[in-house]
Structures are given as structure tokens and as C-alpha cells.
Structure 1
Amino acid sequence: MRDDLEIKDARVIAALQTKAQTCVIKNNGIFERFSHEKIVRSCLMVGAPLWASEKIASYVAKTAYDGISTAEIKMLVFDHLKKIDGEVADKYLATNTLRVRTSRDTIEPFDQRKIEKTLIVETEASGELARKIATQVWKELKKLDVEYLTAPMIREIVNTKLVENGLETLRKKYTRLGIPVYNITNLIKNGSRDNANMIHNPETVHKYVADEALKQYALLSIPQELADAHMSGDIHIHDLEFFAGRPINCLQHDLRTFIRYGLRVDGTGDHTSVAGAPKHIGTLMNHTGEIMLAAQQNMSGGQSMSLWNVFVAPFAAGLSYDEIKQAVQMLIYNLNMAYAARGSQVPFTSMNLEFTVPDFLKDETAYGPGGKAVGVYGDFEEETRALERAFTEELLKGDSDGKPHLFPNTIYTLRKEVLGSEFEEDLLKVHELSAKYGTAYFTNMLPDYRGNMANYMGCRTQLNDNWTGDWDKDCLRTGNLAYVTLNLPRIAYNSRDDDDVFEYLDSYMNLAEQVLMLRRRQAMHCLDDYNLLPFLTQDVDGERYYRVENSTMSFGFVGLNEMLLEHCGNGIEDEDARKFGLDVIKYINQRAATLKEETGLRWSVLQTPAESTAYRFAMLDKEKFGDKAITQGDAGAYYYTNSSHVPVNADVLLPEKIRIEEKFHPMTLGGHIFHAFMGEAYANPESLMSLTNKIATKSDIGFWAYSSAMSFCMKCKSLMKGLQDQCGNCGEQKEVEWYDRITGYVQQVGRSKSASGGWNPGKMQELRDRKRF
């Protein structure tokens, strides 16, 4: 009876308070009328008795003032509950005061049981251990004077408790991946210079933020010693951001597949329109661009089409040359304007073109409109040549402003029969392209280490018909699965003698081998188990489109020249030092050959296309070894010489540079390139063609390009040779864009010498150091 009277009196007091219409400010800034009932209800929900709930609500009602915040009210309730029952007070604090902004974009009461549950699910901790950690976390959270908790904040405290309890393995599983607010702000304002092929826009910001989380995920997922080897700079694991979900690097397409069976850009046709076998050359050109755009969603690196003009030739039969050129023009513009690949890039594409139908293809069945057999490819010699000429002429025109088309990388295949007078006019046109833009590449099929087929996939990665001896299976519908780069100069800094060098080399290759096997294992999961790469796994005559069993795993390397300088006292230009350098690369090849025997997989050695790795290694080694580190460049922009190249600033004539570097091409069949950096004067096409003939017939150089630095005035649309600070036509300074080859492909550098554009400081310094021939 006494309790009923007390309750009645409390309600009378509350009614008097309500008359004043006290307003409360909620956390979101909205005003609402004070509610006695809400306080009673919140106390009852955490287990407080009715009399205590009413008493506390009445006290708060008397204390509240107009404009009081909900946070103040909750603390008043908590303080009074503590005097009655500490456990109930804690429960009230967790439920009403500690609110959590979750990763699901909701605001929820704190619940210790959720920490326990996530620890059990994510780390496989026992229930007892999960409760212990969650209780420790709760004790820490009670001390905080914050309006809201966040899921990342709670997770950080959980991880701290895991570390304090010696549970580092569980901490790695439970950690949250992400990127600091400052870094995201900087990306939005300034972009990134890790990839010269990316412009600054919202999609690149999204890509870099996602990349950072996925890089962290990859480094947490692999064994600690491998992650440490990468982060410290012993080795470089390329494409870490793609390690987990897009682990396949480069790909060579077989256009015949899509000519015969049509196109499903999602790999299945379940989510997009399905195209049948193309019946017209225009449709085929459109499909070609869509193939590369679709495949880019499943891959991390470059992709190429070999024998492109041979396979397209049946579609050109009966067409005029103008019609052929129009179709080719469509493809070139499509490949340069499809800003829909990773982070708003155009697909990284290459075309391997033939000047004539190769002998090994002349009797192969040719497939034409509608996917039907139309004879053999030897029947389409004229069309093959017309398509090559059309491609070259369209590239020579540039775009409507006069700038070069940067994609596809166009690779011209030189065979013995091509170097005769019959193809002189076609060859001359290609060398006009080299003289004007420097975008053409050349594949040399004449050296003894070549077979019928070799193809390249962008910067330099390549395939040969030296795996099974079948040009189709060895070179098409497969590619480079992954590569890991060895820091050769660091080996020299740590070595006392030759034996030490090869011991360190063994240990670095052991690390790289483990990474590559993990990468392949993840690729198999993505292909077979996760259904994550549908374009690559689409069915072609009962087999998977991507022939992973024929893909290469490669040892890359950077800084052979600096290794020789430290270990031998002279660089790669010295004959004795170079012999030791050849022994080093030969040793890596022997390891690749042994692994082929042991694993049955396709191992290779390549000259790494080190856009950022040469800079990263040099900067890390300068920090670690100080003046002992031998680098190129200046403070803040150190770099190592790429792979087994002669330093870009070496005072070496072109014939001597060829003689030095050719020795390494037969030993780097996973990929290589020779750079001839041309001077500011306009190169003579006839002279370049004569040089091409000499390189092809008298050297073992397998792949090369004549790289020309160019400037383009955005104001008056004038193209100039060399890196110019000012337009020679209109005098413009700020709007002069630079172009040059970064490692493999030609790309914008930036505007003016003070701008670094998309190139990192090391590459910018290398650009300035390049000796032009």
C-alpha cells in the first residue's frame, strides 16, 4: 500500500513538471518533450525494480531544465542506478549511454555479447576466452567519455587486449583493414603517383582506398616472413592489391574463340546480353574491344592478342581498303576511350601484328563471318597485309588533336621472310610511326632461341612455344600468372664473396618461390572454388578459356648493374663484371629449370617492368645501408637500374649497348626489352629501318622499341620532339604536356619540368638522366 502511495505522489510531481513542457535536445539536434515514461521504461528494461524506476524518473524530472541533453539525462539515471544496483547500472550504461555506430550504417546499443560472438566466429576462440577478452574491453569502454563508439574503435581495443594477452595469431585474424582519414583526404586532393596509367578522378580514389585494404589483407594472409621480406625490400611482391581476388597477371587471347562462338562478356551470359558469332568486320572490332574490357575485370595486368590481323583477315575479304581502315579506326578509338577498367583506366592492351601469314599458320583452318570455316589462313595473305597497313596508318594519324594513341601497344613481328624487299614499303611505314611517336615495338623471331611463335603482353612479359612445343597451347589463352622481383643490390651489400652472393640468391629465390606458389594456389581457388573469375573460366569446347596449366610464374630482378658495382667494383659495362652478372642470371634460370622438373609447372625469368620497384628498393636500401648503397639519381629520388639494362645515363654508344644487353635476352624468356632512347631531332625512318635490320639479323635482342620523348601543346595542338618547357609555336608554357616511355609503354609524364604528373620521383629522375641517341 505504501509503494502505491509513493508511485501516486511521483506521478503528481511528474504531471506538474510536464505543465512546464520541458524540452530535451536529442543527439541529432532535434527537440522533443521530456518524457517521464521513457525513463521508467528504460530502467525497467535493464532489470531495475518498478519503485526504483519511478523514483529515478521523478528525480530526473525535478532536475531537468529546458534544453537539457539526452546525454545529461542518461548520466543522471546511471548515477542513481549505481546507488541501487551496480550491475543494473552497468547494463543501463551499455544499453542507453554507450551507443555504437556499426559498419552496417546503424546506431545500436553496446552489447558485450557481440564482441564474444565475433571473437568466436572470426578467430575460433573458445567461449571462455572470448568472454574474458570481452569483459576486459567493457571495463575499458566504461572509462571513456564519448557520445558514440564506433565499430573500428571497439575492434582496436579488442585487438589491444588480444596483444596484451599474448594472442597475436588471433589479433591478425580479428584486425580491421583500412586507410587513415588523412590519406583519403590526400588522395581526393592530390591523387597518387603509383601508376602512371591512371588519371585523377573519383574512380581512382575508390580504387586506391580499396587497394590499400586489399594490400593489408594480402600481407596478413601470407606467412609473416614473406610479408616481412616484401616490406623490408628483400623482394617485391607485385600487385598485392590483387593477390586475394584477382591473382592472374597477363593474358594472351585467342580471337578465334570469339569468332567461332560469340561473346559473353560476363563469361556466362546470365547477367548481360549474349552476342552470337560476328558476321561483319565492324561487329568483330566492337567485340575485340569488349573482350579486353571484360577480361580486365578478371585480371591484374596487361592483355594482348597475337596474330590479330591474321585471324581478322577472313572478315576483310571483299572489302575496300577504306572500309578496312574504318573498321581498324573504330577499334583503336574504342581501346583508348573505354575508361571503365580498374580505377577508371582504359584496358591495358597490346596487339601483336604480322606482316604476312606465318608459314606455320598457312594451312590452319580459317574462321570467318558467322564463325564458319572459310578455307585456310594462307588464302588471306592480301587481307592480312592490308590490316597491318591500316593499323599502322591509323596510328600514324594520331587522334583528332594530333596526340599519339597510347593503346594498344602495337607489336610488329619480324620474321626472315619479312626483311626482304617485298615488305620494304610496309616496314618503312612502321618506322615512320617509330620516328613520329616512338610507340611501335618489334619482336625478333630470327635468333636461334626462337621457335615459330613468341608473343608479348604489354611492358615485356612474353610467352614462347618452348613449353610443350605447341604454338597454340603454349602461347594463346594463357599468360604470366605472377612474378616476384629480387633486390640484387641488397644481396651484394650483404655478401663478402661469390659464395655469399649465391647463398643469398638462394634464400631470396626461396622466398619468391613460396610467394608464387601461394599466388598460384589462390588463383586456383578463384578459378575453381570461388566462382570469382567467370570470364576466364567460361567453357570453350569442354575446357576452361584460361589455360592456367600453361601459365608462367616468374623470377624478376632489379639492379644487376648496382650489384656488380658493389661486388665487382665495376658495372655491367665492364666485361669481367658482366660475366659475373651473366652467371647470376644463369643461376636464377637453373633454379627455374629445377622447379619445372619438381613441380611440373612453367617457371621463367624476366626483366621486371619496374615502374616503382626500382625506386622503392633504392630508397629502402639508402635508408638501411646509407652511403654503402650504390644508387642512381639524387636525394629523395634514388633508383636502381632496371633489370639487366645498361644505366640510362651511361656514356655508351648504341651498338655497344646492344652488344651488352643482347646477352641477357635468351636468358630472360619470361620477358625482356631493349630501349633505344632517341634524341630530340626527328629520326629518319630509313635510318631506323636500317638499324632494325641490323638488330634483327646480327643480335639476340628479342624485343625492342625506339623511344621518343615528345611534348604536346594543349593550347595550339602542336607536337614537338623532346621535353620542351615552352611551345615553339605559340609560346605557351603551362599547357605543354610531356610524353615518354615509362618502362614499357608510352604515357603522359606531366606538364613542364616542375610537374611530376603520374610518375614517381625515381622515374622522373630516370627520365631526366636518360641519354638520347
Structure 2
Amino acid sequence: MREDIERNERIIAALPTMAQTCVIKNNGIFERFSHEKIVKSCLMVGAPLWAAEKISSYVAKSAYDGVSTAEIKILVYDCLKRVDRKIADKYLASNALRVRTSRDTIEPFDQRKIEKTLIIETDASGELARKIATETWKELKKLDVDYLTAPMIREIVNTKLVEYGLETLRKKYTRLGIPVYNITNLIRNGSRDNANMIHNPETVHKYVADEALKQYALLRILPNELADAHLGGDIHIHDLEFFAGRPLNCLQHDLRFFIKHGLKVDGTGDHTSVAGPPNHIETLMNHSGEIMLAAQQNMSGGQSMSLWNVFVAPFASGLPYEKVKQAVQMFIYNLNMAYAARGSQVPFTSINLEFTVPKFLEDEPAYGPKGKLVGVYGDYEEETRILQRAFTETLLDGDSDGKPHLFPNTIYALRDEVLKDEFEEDIRLVHELSAKYGTAYFVNMLPSYRGKMANYMGCRTSLSDNWTGEWQKDCFRTGNLAYVTLNLPRIAYNSRDDNDVFDYLDSYMHLGEEVLMLRREQAMNCLDNYNLLPFLTQEAEGDRYYSINNATLSFGFVGLNEMLIAHCGEGIEDPDARKFGLKVIKYMNKRADELKDETGLRWSVLQTPAESTAYRFGMLDKEKFGDKAVLQGDDVASYYTNSSHVPVNSDVLLPEKIKIEEKFHPLTLGGHIFHAFMGESYSDPDSLMSLTNKIAKNSDIGFWAYSSALSFCIKCKTLMKGLQTKCGTCGEETEVEWYDRITGYVQQVGRSRSASGGWNPGKMRELMDRKRL
């Protein structure tokens, strides 16, 4: 208080002499005392004219140079109390109590606004709204603050609603937000929930918005029991922040749609430039990237393109190899440099490549420049192979510093017709890529559960032609709508016998069903009623681009290994325990098949890409079950084994690991992956080729990658195998960046000395636990 008086005295001393009394406003600005303002303020709250003039004269005599507006208001309020207490309270509310609103304005407090918002937002009666607003006003009068804030007022209103037992109204009236401390921490330190995001202003904005939208989904969309099941850790509802506005997860594009009809990145062409059908390969490369980026604004998961090099092949006809490769380079660099997706990420992209034109496509109409028919795709086998080779060579080159291109996730289809000598050179080149960076994926089209087509999106979510049997309808212009993950170890902790396990499994799946149906309902609203997803709803030839009726609703799971240990006494490596694990996943599939019949929708089971869920479940169960919980990791970071994988620290040899995990791939057609974690020594491409042949021809593994831990010296640009703490070339210790596959995709781990970055503590612990070949 003394400091304020001294500050005011200094300001007054610096001002020119004024004939009239000066008043200091709340913002520190001086103005001359105004008799008329005081009279007007009294009249505005209902005081008689005589009283207003008398009060103004009294205040004028009491005022002094440098008097504050707060002091003047106290004088006016004290005088009005002698005239009429209600009028005095009204004056205090409109003049002394000022509100900093969510509209970035400062306004007089108005009790009627509380009444109005209660009626509008909660459907409260006028009488109840007035009662709550009056009680709130009584509390606010007691506060000694310069300003009220809208959140402060809302909190007090919510307190009154709770006191009166009006919890339903309180939930509707509550404010969504994020604590000041959390925002400060985000600005200073960032977040490690998503390894694909760097620390910058856009990620801060994203996380703040995410927090509000997560709360909105939990409070407004999901019933209490579903919200509680998620918060308590029985199930995990993925992408809660996108539940309300972009509830669709992964998307598999059909590049032919845009080759034929051109590109409207906003979906309508009303707000951006419209491009016609591409005429040159360079234009098509640009369009391919823009399609991914535009769709990312409407989706919560990854974007993928299958048969990419087949569909691009007509545009490469007659072109020299150097020009084709230059166009492919432009596409790959664009995907890795477009920091314009959610929270300043590059778009999360995957490209499924073929080594040749698949037999079922050979007689399909081919579309080329300007969207015109140019024969059939079987006419473009050479161009298809050239494009694959150019793509692989570009990835093998790395960027100008020698680092791997992290996107797109590049997936190579292995079909019976390509596992022959004719394609040996092309396949070996891909294995050079695997040996160097570990970024390539392989999809196995040989197992009996495969049809003509299967494609993968993002970390592992998958589509195949097992829905209607029509490859285009089943695998294009649709995707995984959403998935919910079940906490399998917790089921075991709560179960006394097998019957209990399946009873709990039923209940957890029922929760998942309800969540997924609500999510689908929200997706329908966003597509059909809210006009919120214009890219997906654009039409051509009378047909909407995105087909929600062909999208999958999926049950995911985490910790099968720990469930088996808790329930059977042995983990997934034990044959008897594994039989029970297979029984559990078959039971989930049985329920998915029943739901297909009951709802007419496409249900599936997938191995969850649990980047954070395995850690979240583990830490929750450690707190809830104590020593009863079967956990991987340590006391600082506990986690569960991802889905139905063998634990990463297991000593089981690779052939045995394949035999264990292959049993689960035919049961998880919604998505799966097999990890072969490679050692620190350089992997031999020919040895990897031999292994690929064996996996493809002799196992039911559907999707896999050879994952390599890498270190990169930022100072001298040296790439090294393994997680190195010191550069072998220049000796640098603090500027060595680590890379490895987090759950499905390769990403930076962080600096070697800090061992921090995009990976959360659970994934960091898992990284350290991985046994390598």
C-alpha cells in the first residue's frame, strides 16, 4: 500500500499543475475529477437526483489530488448505503466489482448475466437461476480483489450448485480449462505424450486446446460410467482431444480420385485455390502431399496411400529415370518438411508400395495426365518398378545431413509373384534400407488369411478385403474410425478363475462398444450435421469421398503377457499360458463378429499401438494393486508389454519369437506388427533378405520391421549404429541424437546425455530394456 502511495506521489509531482483535483484510474492514467460522472453513476443504479447531487458534492470535498477511483467508489458506496442498501449493492456490483471476461474485456459485474447463463446452459428455471445468482453475489461481495474473473465467478456458481445438490446442472455449467502452472510448464518444458511433436509455440497451443477438449469429451459426450472407466484405467479411450471435433482415426486414400477430379484442399473450393486434374508428375507429387496435409485437418490419426507407385505409373511413362527420381524426392521432402499439421507436426503419413503391378490390377482402367483413361495398369509395369526403386533410393540417401527420412512410413508388399529372382535386385535395395536405417516395413500377402489386398496406416492399423470382398470398397476411402484399448492385466488381478476372466472381458468390451458407438455417432454428426469435415465430405460423381460405413470400429488390448503371468503363473512364452492367451483374443474376435451381425458395422480386433497407454495402465495399476501388479520396467517407470508381443527384454530367440507372435496376427486383422530389434553391428542386407523369405513363406506374420537403434552426431553429421553416448568420429558427447522405433514408426528419442525428448518415461524404460539381435 505504501509503495502505491509513493508511486502516485511521484506521478503527481511529474504532472503539470492543474486547477482541478486529479484522479488516478485503475490503469494508472490520470483524469480530472468529474462531478457529472458521480451524479450519473448514482442515477444509473436508481438513486434519486437529490441524493446523487448531494453525494457528488460530498465526494468532491473529500477528494484530493491523486485520489484513486477505488477510493472514490468506496465514498460513494458508503453514502448510498445511508440512502438505500439495495441501491448501494447495485452500485458496488456495477462499479466496484469489475469482471475480466473470457471475451478479453473488462465489464461491470451484472448478476443478471449469471441468471441468464444458468437458464441457457443448464435449463434451470428462472426462479432457481435468480436464487443461485443471488447467493453467488453474496459471496462475491466478501472478496477483496481488484478484479473478478469469469472462471472465478463460474467456480463460485458451481460451488453453490453443489451445495444445493444440483450436480447435473454443475456438470453442464462447469468451465473447461488448464491450470496456469501447467501452461507455464508447457511453455518451458513441452510435453512427451507424442514423440512426433517438437517443442514450439504450436505444440503449446495444441496441448492447451487438447486439455479443454478432453475435458469436454469426458464431461459432455461420455456418460459418467464410461468417463470413469477411462480415468480409472479399465479401458483407454484414444484421442479424447479429438472425440468431439475430428473423431475419425486413420484414413486410406485413393489417389485415383484426385487424379481424375483434381484437388480442393478445403473440400469445397470456396476458400482456397482449386487445382484441376494433374498433367505432370511433378504436379501429382505436389498434390499427393497436399492431400495428406489437407486430410490431416479432418482426421485424428495417420494418412496412407496404397498402390501408390501403381497409380502414379502412367505419369512416369516416357520420362527419364532422373526426372522420375527428382519428382519422388520432392514428394518425400515435402512430407518431411510440411510443419503444418496438428501442433506443428509434419503429417503422419504412410505409403504402401508394390514391386510390380499386382495381378488383380493388371486389367483395371488406368488414369493418367488430365485424368484421362490411358489403358490399363498392366501396361505400366516398368514404370511401377521404376517408381518403387526411385522411392527406395531416395530414402536410402537420407537427408542432406545423412539422417533418415522419418516419413512417410514406407511399406513394401510381398506377394508370391515378387519373391522370385526377377525382383531380387529391387528387394535387396529395400533390405539395404532396412540395414541402414531400419525404417522399411513389410506386409506379407502370402498367408491364407490374406485376400487380394491389405494395407496399413500409421503405426499398424490395417484394412483388408475381408469385409465385403471388394478390394476397393474395403480398402480405400475409409479407415479405422476408432479403437478402445482394454487393460488385460487388470482383468486378471480381479479374477478368481477362467469364468471371471471372460465375465470381466465381457464387461470391458461392453464399455468399449458403448464408447465406439458414441464416437461413430459423433463422427456422423461431424460429417452430416455440423459441416465440420469438409475434405472428407467432398463429392465427385455423386459419391462422398469418405465412406464411414466401411470404417472399422476396433477393440485394442495391452498387456496380454502380464495377464497370463497373473492368471496362469507363466507368460506368453509358455505354451499352456499362450493357449489361454489365444483363447482370450479369439473370444474378443467372436464378440466382434457378433457385433457385425447385430449392428451391420465393421468391427475388428487390433494390437494397440500403445505409445503411452502401456505406461499409463502400468502406473495406474501399480498404484491400485501394489505388489499384486505384474509390471515391466522399474519403480520410476512401469509399463505393460504391448498387446500380444513377447516382452522386449525376453531372451527368447528370433525363430521362437516368430512362432509365438504369428499365432496372433490372423486374430488381429484390425492391425498388428512384429518387431525384430537389430543389434549395434551393421546388419547384412543379404541376411535380412534370407530372413524375410523365411518369414513371408513359412509364417503367418502379416506385418513387420527390422528396427535399428541409431545415433547421429549433430556436430559432425556422423550416423552410428546403436545408442551411443559419444560420437566415434569427433568425440562429441552432448550433441548425439538417438533414433529408434517407438511403437510403429522411427522417431527421435532425444539427446544421449539427457535421454529425454519426445518419448515418455515408460517408452524410455522400454527402450533401455530391449534385447537386440
Q: In structure 2, how many angstroms separate the alpha carbons of the residues matched to 1:553 and 1:706?
A: 29
Q: In structure 1, how many angstroms separate the alpha carbons of the residues matched to 2:396 and 2:18?
A: 86
What's the counterpart of residue 653 of structure 2?
A: 653
What's the counterpart of residue 439 of structure 1?
A: 439
CA deviation digits over 1:229-259, x for unaligned, max 9?
A: 0000000000000000000000000000000
Distance 1:643 1:19, change over 3 A: closer
What's the counterpart of residue 452 of structure 2?
A: 452
Q: In structure 1, how many angstroms separate the alpha carbons of the residues matched to 2:155 and 2:427?
A: 63
Q: Tell me the secondary structure at the aligned position of residue 535 of structure 1.
A: helix
One-letter amino acid of the structure 1 residue matched with residue 430 of structure 2:
V
* Structure 1 residue 21, shift from structure 2 partner: 2.2
Q: In structure 2, how many angstroms separate the alpha carbons of the residues matched to 1:96 and 1:390?
A: 72
* Structure 2 contact 332–407 (Cα < 8 Å) conserved: yes
CA deviation digits over 1:327-382, x for unaligned, max 9?
A: 10000000000000000000000000000100000000000001000000000000
Q: In structure 1, how many angstroms separate the alpha carbons of the residues matched to 2:628 and 2:245?
A: 40
Q: Tell me the secondary structure at the aligned position of residue 669 of structure 2.
A: coil
What's the counterpart of residue 186 of structure 2?
A: 187
Where do 1:464-479 residues align within 5 Å?
A: 464-479=464-479
* Structure 1 residue 48, shift from structure 2 partner: 1.0
* Structure 1 residue 753, shift from structure 2 partner: 4.6
CA deviation digits over 1:51-76, x for unaligned, max 9?
A: 21122112212221221110111011
* Structure 1 residue 755, shift from structure 2 partner: 2.3
What's the counterpart of residue 129 of structure 2?
A: 130
Q: In structure 2, how many angstroms separate the alpha carbons of the residues matched to 1:106 and 1:738?
A: 47
What's the counterpart of residue 79 of structure 2?
A: 80
Where do 1:322-341 residues align within 5 Å?
A: 322-341=322-341
What's the counterpart of residue 175 of structure 1?
A: 174
Name which of structure 1's ranges 32-41 and 155-164 shifts more when overlaid on structure 2: 32-41
Q: Tell me the secondary structure at the aligned position of residue 704 of structure 1.
A: strand
What's the counterpart of residue 103 of structure 1?
A: 102
* Structure 1 residue 20, shift from structure 2 partner: 5.6
Q: Tell me the secondary structure at the aligned position of residue 633 of structure 2.
A: strand
* Structure 1 residue 205, shift from structure 2 partner: 0.3
TM-score of the two chains, using structure 2 as the length reference: 0.97
Q: Tell me the secondary structure at the aligned position of residue 664 of structure 2.
A: helix
One-letter amino acid of the structure 2 residue matched with residue 152 of structure 1:
P
Q: In structure 2, how many angstroms separate the alpha carbons of the residues matched to 1:772 and 1:395?
A: 24
* Structure 1 residue 545, shift from structure 2 partner: 0.2
* Structure 1 residue 44, shift from structure 2 partner: 1.4
Q: In structure 1, how many angstroms separate the alpha carbons of the residues matched to 2:18 and 2:191?
A: 61
What's the counterpart of residue 195 of structure 2?
A: 196
What's the counterpart of residue 269 of structure 2?
A: 269
Q: In structure 2, how many angstroms separate the alpha carbons of the residues matched to 1:329 and 1:19?
A: 73
Q: In structure 1, how many angstroms separate the alpha carbons of the residues matched to 2:760 and 2:607?
A: 20
* Structure 2 contact 560–581 (Cα < 8 Å) conserved: yes
What's the counterpart of residue 284 of structure 1?
A: 284
What's the counterpart of residue 673 of structure 1?
A: 673
One-letter amino acid of the structure 1 residue matched with residue 626 of structure 2:
G
One-letter amino acid of the structure 2 residue matched with residue 618 of structure 1:
G
What's the counterpart of residue 754 of structure 1?
A: 754
Where do 1:714-729 residues align within 5 Å?
A: 714-729=714-729
Name which of structure 1's ranges 46-55 and 521-530 shifts more when overlaid on structure 2: 46-55
Q: In structure 2, how many angstroms separate the alpha carbons of the residues matched to 1:538 and 1:74?
A: 59
Q: In structure 1, how many angstroms separate the alpha carbons of the residues matched to 2:135 and 2:543?
A: 55
* Structure 1 residue 276, shift from structure 2 partner: 0.3
* Structure 1 residue 448, shift from structure 2 partner: 0.3
Q: In structure 2, how many angstroms separate the alpha carbons of the residues matched to 1:386 and 1:699?
A: 29
Q: Tell me the secondary structure at the aligned position of residue 484 of structure 1.
A: strand
What's the counterpart of residue 410 of structure 2?
A: 410
CA deviation digits over 1:732-769, x for unaligned, max 9?
A: 01100000000000000000153211100000000000
Q: In structure 2, how many angstroms separate the alpha carbons of the residues matched to 1:311 and 1:19?
A: 82
Q: In structure 2, how many angstroms separate the alpha carbons of the residues matched to 1:633 and 1:746?
A: 21
CA deviation digits over 1:679-699, x for unaligned, max 9?
A: 000000000000000000000
CA deviation digits over 1:188-211, x for unaligned, max 9?
A: 000000000000000000000000
CA deviation digits over 1:426-455, x for unaligned, max 9?
A: 000000000000000000000000000000
| Matching of residue 544 in structure 1 with residue 544 in structure 2 | yes
* Structure 1 contact 619–636 (Cα < 8 Å) conserved: no
Where do 1:380-399 residues align within 5 Å?
A: 380-399=380-399
What's the counterpart of residue 619 of structure 1?
A: 619
One-letter amino acid of the structure 2 residue matched with residue 697 of structure 1:
K
* Structure 1 residue 107, shift from structure 2 partner: 1.4
What's the counterpart of residue 45 of structure 2?
A: 46
CA deviation digits over 1:263-293, x for unaligned, max 9?
A: 0000010000000000000000000000000
Q: In structure 1, how many angstroms separate the alpha carbons of the residues matched to 2:437 and 2:541?
A: 42
* Structure 2 contact 259–371 (Cα < 8 Å) conserved: yes
* Structure 2 contact 733–753 (Cα < 8 Å) conserved: no
One-letter amino acid of the structure 1 residue matched with residue 338 of structure 2:
A
One-letter amino acid of the structure 1 residue matched with residue 516 of structure 2:
L
Q: In structure 1, how many angstroms separate the alpha carbons of the residues matched to 2:556 and 2:748?
A: 26
Q: In structure 2, how many angstroms separate the alpha carbons of the residues matched to 1:252 and 1:374?
A: 24
* Structure 1 residue 160, shift from structure 2 partner: 0.8
What's the counterpart of residue 533 of structure 1?
A: 533
Q: In structure 2, how many angstroms separate the alpha carbons of the residues matched to 1:232 and 1:754?
A: 32
Distance 1:697 1:753, change over 3 A: farther
One-letter amino acid of the structure 2 residue matched with residue 343 of structure 1:
G
Q: In structure 1, how many angstroms separate the alpha carbons of the residues matched to 2:311 and 2:35?
A: 82
| Matching of residue 61 in structure 1 with residue 38 in structure 2 | no
What's the counterpart of residue 13 of structure 2?
A: none
CA deviation digits over 1:533-563, x for unaligned, max 9?
A: 0000000211110011000000000000000
TM-score of the two chains, using structure 1 as the length reference: 0.97
One-letter amino acid of the structure 1 residue matched with residue 89 of structure 2:
D
One-letter amino acid of the structure 2 residue matched with residue 65 of structure 1:
Y
Q: In structure 2, how many angstroms separate the alpha carbons of the residues matched to 1:614 and 1:450?
A: 29
* Structure 1 contact 724–736 (Cα < 8 Å) conserved: yes
What's the counterpart of residue 428 of structure 1?
A: 428
Q: Tell me how many residue pairs correspond in the alignment.
A: 756
* Structure 1 residue 22, shift from structure 2 partner: 1.8
What's the counterpart of residue 293 of structure 1?
A: 293
Q: In structure 1, how many angstroms separate the alpha carbons of the residues matched to 2:311 and 2:553?
A: 28
| Matching of residue 742 in structure 1 with residue 742 in structure 2 | yes
* Structure 1 residue 406, shift from structure 2 partner: 0.3
Q: Which runs of 5+ in 2 are unaligned?
A: 1-16
Distance 1:350 1:105, change over 3 A: same
Q: Tell me the secondary structure at the aligned position of residue 353 of structure 1.
A: strand
* Structure 1 residue 19, shift from structure 2 partner: 8.4
* Structure 2 contact 352–455 (Cα < 8 Å) conserved: yes
One-letter amino acid of the structure 1 residue matched with residue 653 of structure 2:
L
* Structure 1 contact 478–551 (Cα < 8 Å) conserved: yes
* Structure 1 residue 636, shift from structure 2 partner: 1.9
RMSD across aligned positions (CA)? 0.9
* Structure 1 contact 435–684 (Cα < 8 Å) conserved: yes
